[in-house]
Structure 1
Amino acid sequence: MALQVIVLGTGLTECILSGLLSVEGKKVLHMDRNDYYGGDSASLNLTQACWFNSARLWGALLTKLAQLYRKFRPDQTPPAELGRDRDYAVDLIPKFIIASGELTKILVHTDVTRYLEFKQIAGSFVYRDGKISKVPSNEMEALKSPLMGLFEKRRAKKFFEFLQGWKDEDPATHQGSWTLAQVSLLSLSDISRLLGINLDKDTMQTVYTKFGLEPGTQDFIGHAMALYLNDE
């Protein structure tokens, strides 16, 4: 069989490329010099992590990813009390893939799961006021969460319901119920809360203000839920 493409490495990029070519009917040979899939985006067990640390195959790359286990326990091998190798998955490059994102659709389309295994995140956590708290993932967890007070939870609930119900073509979902004449004597902050939201002009701060959300809740939504790295 005549090959048309040879792909070297089984990192995420290489797997997507190989899958796209295969879907288009190309004859592809996909190879990897390592004894595990994933390339420089792999998640290794403890033994692999120690091997990766001592290997010299990847030169400068080792310096960047380097040392993993031995970085914290110089010249040691994983002790028996840490358990089985397969109970660990140490990311060489920590990463998240959003379940409803475009990348997920590409992975499904290209059948990358033939080479790479993906694990659903069991939970995410935030550090606030000296404590570590779980980010709620369902209504029951939200009710029990210490991250917001009772009244703030009610405001946040209205905010999330607003997001869920938003329709560009339906002004009734834009939270506007007053006219300019009715609010002419109110302050600017009151006006921002009472008038409808214009997503083409209003900042996210304006939306938060309209629902009366506290600064801590704004940070929580932006960073812990939306996963933004900064406030820009």
Structure 2
Amino acid sequence: FKYFSCDENTMAFTGHAMALYLDDSYLKRPARECIDRVQLYAYSLSRYGNSPYIYPVWGLGGLPEGFSRLCAIHGGVYMLNKPIEKILYNDDGTVKGVQCKDEEHPAYCKKLLADPSYFIGTDKVKKVGQVARMICIMSHPIKDTNNADSAQIILPAKHTGRRSDIYISMVSYHHQVAAQGKYVAVVSLNVESKQPEKEFAPALALLGKADVRFSWVSDQYAPTDDGSKDNIFVTSSYDATSHFETATKEIMSIYERLTGQPVDLTAKPDDLGKDE
């Protein structure tokens, strides 16, 4: 960046908004890493038109719905919205299955992938911080976005006087998630003070007037082991990022720990479902 005489605004925008780095560590790392990330941003932008991001119509609820359909096609069993009563273990301490509430028979398994909320109060997870989120329902698009019906905005920490970035994701009636003429903006950030509601100020100044706002603070948990001993693979809580970059990396990591092989994204659609 210094070689090309880039100012701090350009460096922050490139590193945080395009390369999706969570901090400024990229400034001290090999340039190739940042270049690859920026190229991915550019390739995605050229492929999908005016945005490098895609968002499912009808909201993210379509993802578990799609999973359920694929699960049924491949002979799997799924139970949505079933409270877990307890986790069952073998004599050697490895997972055996789960017992669901109001179900007579347990669901048996060799490996278990679980959200940290199922293990709060145990030695499987530890608290690593807090995330504050706010949902703003508005009757106008975000200013200075050319009246865009959707937006992904990252406010770099350096521009807001914080230690971490602020994330804004905005969708609207064009995505079938709001009424005609309404916009839904979700603001998320790492809690850095005892008054998290005041930490939203830079984002609210950008969003402008909202019809209604909802905010809450969630504890953030992380697993204490890799799951190899008991075959229970616990994910981390969702962090403040709104672009799912960290979630995607964790999914790929857990897949490799579950199967012993890295994710192969070169599979052709025609090969899916065929016996190996």
TM-score interval (norm. to shorter): under 0.3
RCO higher in structure (CA 8 A, sep ≥6): 2
Structure number with bigger Rg:
1
The TM-score with structure 1 as length reference comes to 0.21
The TM-score with structure 2 as length reference comes to 0.18
Answer 1 or 2: which has greater strand percent: 2
